[in-house]
Amino acid sequence: MIIVLKPNATPPEVDHVIDRIKELGLKAHVSQGEHRTIIGVIGDETKLSKEPLLAIAGVEQVLPIMKPFKLASREFNKKDSVVVVGGRVKVGGGHLGMIAGPCAIEGREILNEIAGEVKKAGANLLRGGAFKPRTSPYTFQGMGEEGLKILREVGDAHDMPVVTEVMDPRQVPLVEKWADMLQIGARNMQNFDLLKEVGQTRKAILLKRGMSATVKDLLMSAEYILSEGNQSVVLCERGVRSFEDSTRNMLDMSAVPNVKGMSHLPIIVDPSHATGRRDLIPPMALASVAAGADGVHIEVHSCPEKALSDGPQALLPPNYGKLMEQIRKVAEVMGKTF
Amino acid sequence: MIIVLKPNATPPEVDHVIDRIKELGLKAHVSQGEHRTIIGVIGDETKLSKEPLLAIAGVEQVLPIMKPFKLASREFNKKDSVVVVGGRVKVGGGHLGMIAGPCAIEGREILNEIAGEVKKAGANLLRGGAFKPRTSPYTFQGMGEEGLKILREVGDAHDMPVVTEVMDPRQVPLVEKWADMLQIGARNMQNFDLLKEVGQTRKAILLKRGMSATVKDLLMSAEYILSEGNQSVVLCERGVRSFEDSTRNMLDMSAVPNVKGMSHLPIIVDPSHATGRRDLIPPMALASVAAGADGVHIEVHSCPEKALSDGPQALLPPNYGKLMEQIRKVAEVMGKTF
Amino acid sequence: MIIVLKPNATPPEVDHVIDRIKELGLKAHVSQGEHRTIIGVIGDETKLSKEPLLAIAGVEQVLPIMKPFKLASREFNKKDSVVVVGGRVKVGGGHLGMIAGPCAIEGREILNEIAGEVKKAGANLLRGGAFKPRTSPYTFQGMGEEGLKILREVGDAHDMPVVTEVMDPRQVPLVEKWADMLQIGARNMQNFDLLKEVGQTRKAILLKRGMSATVKDLLMSAEYILSEGNQSVVLCERGVRSFEDSTRNMLDMSAVPNVKGMSHLPIIVDPSHATGRRDLIPPMALASVAAGADGVHIEVHSCPEKALSDGPQALLPPNYGKLMEQIRKVAEVMGKTF
Amino acid sequence: MIIVLKPNATPPEVDHVIDRIKELGLKAHVSQGEHRTIIGVIGDETKLSKEPLLAIAGVEQVLPIMKPFKLASREFNKKDSVVVVGGRVKVGGGHLGMIAGPCAIEGREILNEIAGEVKKAGANLLRGGAFKPRTSPYTFQGMGEEGLKILREVGDAHDMPVVTEVMDPRQVPLVEKWADMLQIGARNMQNFDLLKEVGQTRKAILLKRGMSATVKDLLMSAEYILSEGNQSVVLCERGVRSFEDSTRNMLDMSAVPNVKGMSHLPIIVDPSHATGRRDLIPPMALASVAAGADGVHIEVHSCPEKALSDGPQALLPPNYGKLMEQIRKVAEVMGKTF
Question: pLDDT, tens digit, for every residue of D252-297?
Answer: 999 999 999 999 999 999 999 999 999 999 999 999 999 999 999 9
Closest CA to B124 of B93, B86, B75, B164: B86
Q: D49 or B304, which is more confident?
A: B304
Does the pLDDT of residue A52 top 80, yes or no? Answer: no
Other C-beta atoms closer than 10 Å to the C-beta of C243 total 23
Per-residue pLDDT for B111 more than 80? Answer: yes
> What pLDDT sits at residue A207?
98
CA dihedral sign of residues A246, A251, A253, A254: positive
* pLDDT tens per residue, range D288-330: 999 999 999 999 998 877 777 667 788 999 999 999 999 999 9
CA–CA separation, D107 and D111 (whole Å): 6
In terms of pLDDT, which residue wins out, A25 or B91? B91
Q: What interface predicted TM-score (ipTM) does this complex get? A: 0.92
Residue of C135 and B45 predicted with greater confidence: C135
List, for residues B182-192, the tens digit of each pLDDT value.
999 999 999 99
Q: Are D259 and D276 in contact (CB under 8 A)?
A: no
With an 8 Å Cβ cutoff, is B284 touching chain D? yes
Is residue A281 within 8 Å of A315, Cβ to Cβ?
A: yes
- DSSP state at residue A252: B
DSSP calls for A134-202? -SSTTS----THHHHHHHHHHHHHTT--EEEE--SGGGHHHHHHH-SEEEEPGGGTT-HHHHHHHHTS-
Q: What percent of chain C has pLDDT over 70?
A: 96
Distance CA B300, CA B280 (A): 14
Between B294 and C303, residue with greater pLDDT? B294
Q: How far apart are CA C263 and CA C72, in angstroms?
A: 6
A135 touches chain D (CB under 8 A): no
* Residue A295 near residue A330, CB atoms below 8 Å: no
CB pair distance less than 8 Å for A20 and B136: no
DSSP state of A108: H
φ, ψ of residue C204 in degrees (nearest 5): -65, 145
**In angstroms, rounded to a whole number, what is the distance separating the alpha carbons of residues C301 and C111?**
9
Largest CA distance in chain C: 76
State whether residue A217 sits within 8 Å of chain B by CB.
yes
CB A190 within 8 A of CB A221: yes
- Angle separating helix axes B145-157 and B108-121, nearest 10 degrees: 40
User: In the A/D pair of chains, how many CB contacts fall below 8 A?
Assistant: 52
Chain D interface test: which of B216, B242, B254, B279 (most D C-beta within 10 Å): B254
- Which of A75-79, C228-232, C272-276, D36-40 is predicted least confidently? D36-40
Tens digits of residue pLDDT in C38-91: 887 877 766 776 667 777 888 888 877 777 889 999 989 999 999 999 999 999
For C30, the closest chain B residue by CA position comes to B31
Q: Kindly list the residues from chain B whose CB atom is less than 8 angstroms away from the CB atom of residue C7.
A: 75
Beta bridge partners of C182: C164, C205
In contact, B268 and B97? CB cutoff 8 Å: yes
Strands B233-237 and A97-101: unpaired
Q: What is the pLDDT at residue D51? A: 62
Considering only the beta carbons, identify the residue of A7, A32, A243 that sits closest to D242.
A243
B219 Cβ contact list (under 8 Å, min separation 6): B67, B69, B72, B73, B235, B259, B262, B263, B265
From chain B, the residues in CB contact with C66 under 8 A are 35-36
Q: For residue D315, what is the DSSP state? A: B
Is A47 in the B-facing interface, judged by CB distances under 8 Å? no
Distance between CA atoms of D64 and C136, rounded to whole angstroms? 14
Closest chain C residue to the Cα of B244, Cα to Cα: C243
Question: Nearest 10 degrees: CA dihedral of C132, C138, C139, C144?
Answer: 40
| Cβ-Cβ contacts under 8 Å for B1 (sequence gap 6 or more) | B40, B41, B45, B48, B50, B53, B62, B63, B64, B65, B66
Is D287 in Cβ contact with B290 (below 8 Å)?
Answer: yes
CB C170 within 8 A of CB C186: no
Closest CA to A165 of A184, A146, A149, A180: A184
Question: Does residue B152 surpass a pLDDT of 90?
Answer: yes
CA distances from residue D305 to C5, D290, D311 in whole angstroms, order as listed: 15, 31, 6
Q: Residue D299 contacts by C-beta under 8 Å, 6 or more apart in sequence?
A: D100, D101, D102, D103, D127, D272, D273, D310, D313, D314, D315
Q: What CA–CA distances, in Å, run from D243 to B7, B186, B242, C212, D88?
A: 29, 16, 9, 11, 41
Q: Considering only CB atoms, which chain B residues are within 8 Å of D288?
A: 287
pLDDT confidence of residue D319: 96
Q: Which of D253, D256, D275 to mutate to test the interface with B (most CBs of B within 10 A)?
A: D253
- For D124, half-sphere exposure in the C-beta direction (CA atoms, 13 angstrom radius) is 17
Q: In chain B, pLDDT over 70 holds for what percent of residues?
A: 96
Q: Establish, for the pair of chains C and D, how many residue pairs have beta carbons separated by less than 8 Å.
A: 128
CA distance C166 to chain B (A): 27
Question: Do the Cβ atoms of C115 and C127 come closer than 8 Å?
Answer: no
| Set of chain B residues whose Cβ sits within 8 Å of the Cβ of D275 | 254
Of D245, D275, D286, the CB nearest to B254: D275
Question: Is-contact C225 C207, C-beta < 8 A?
Answer: yes
Regarding predicted confidence, which is higher, C66 or C249?
C249
Question: CB contact, 8 Å: C26 with chain D?
Answer: no
Helices (H) and strands (E) in chain D, counts: 11, 14
Look at D133 and C190 and tell me if their CB atoms are within 8 Å: yes
Confidence of residue A254 (pLDDT cuts 50, 70, 90): very high
Average pLDDT over residues B39-43: 79
pLDDT value of position C2: 80
- For the cut 90, the answer to whether the pLDDT of residue D75 exceeds it is no
How many angstroms away from the CA of A252 is the closest CA of chain C? 6
Quick one: pLDDT band at residue A35, thresholds 50, 70, 90? confident
Q: What is the dihedral of CA D296, D300, D304, D308, to 10 degrees?
A: -90
DSSP state of A314: P
Is the sign of the CA dihedral D96, D102, D106, D111 positive or negative? Answer: negative
Of the listed ranges A43-57, B244-258, C145-159, the least confidently predicted one is A43-57
Of all residues in chain D, the one with the smallest CA distance to C46 is D138
Among residues C253, C261, C260, C193, which one has the least CA distance to residue C221?
C193
> Pick from D33, D38, D42: which is nearest to A33 by CB?
D42
Q: Tens digits of per-residue pLDDT, B61-76? A: 887 777 788 999 998 9
- What's the mean pLDDT in B323-330? 98
DSSP state for residue D334 in the 8-state scheme: T
Is residue A247 a contact partner of residue A277, using CB atoms and an 8 Å limit? yes
Among candidates A122, A160, A134, A166, which has minimal Cα distance to A147? A166
pLDDT digits (tens, 9 = 90+) for D158-207: 999 999 999 999 999 999 999 999 999 999 999 999 999 999 999 999 99
Residue D132 has pLDDT above 90, yes or no: no
Q: How are beta strands C125-127 and C162-165 bridged, if at all?
A: parallel
Cross-chain residue pair B54–A193, CB shorter than 8 Å? no
| Overall average pLDDT of the B143-160 stretch | 96
Measured CA to CA, the distance from residue A273 to residue A280 in angstroms comes to 11
Residue pair C126/C162 in contact by the 8 Å Cβ criterion: yes
